[in-house]
Amino acid sequence: MSSSIVSSIVGIFVGIIGTLLTIFLTPRLQHHFWGKQRLSEIRLNAIKDMNSLLADFLTHYIDNSKFRPNNDFFASFMAASANIEALFSRKTFGVFKELEVMVGPNLGPAKGAVDKVVQARDRALHALYEEAIG
């Protein structure tokens, strides 16, 4: 065989292999990156929900130190907390947990220390956003 025929056959073979690799790998790579993007979006929504609940809680508590949220608030807070636990690492959830216990129905905000709650919120949000978007 002449070298031009061999190089043509090799070229066709390489083309076929390249096409097959593209067909099989592209969807898997797209799914991988889509999954990471979707996880980030879901994490950001969980952070947004939790931040809204905390803002509502702190606003009412600053106005009235005897403020006690209703059961609907605590149900929403527990649901948001469960999302945080499911979507983030144990380490990040541990930082969040320090805040969560300050808002719990039996504890009140750090026994009246709103500044401690705000500091814990800031630490938790920093850790959550760091893990969600880097």
- Statement: residue 112 has pLDDT above 70: no
Burial level of 28, CB count in 10 A (0-12/13-18/19+)? exposed
Q: pLDDT tens across 12-56, in order? A: 887 888 777 777 777 787 877 888 889 999 999 999 999 999 998
20 part of a folded domain: no
73 part of a folded domain: yes
Structural domains of the chain, count: 1
| Residue in the structure block whose two tokens are 């025929």 | 5
Q: pLDDT tens across 54-92, in order? A: 998 888 877 777 778 888 988 999 999 999 999 999 999
pTM (2 d.p.):
0.74
1 part of a folded domain: no
6 part of a folded domain: no
31 part of a folded domain: no
- Statement: residue 95 has pLDDT above 90: yes
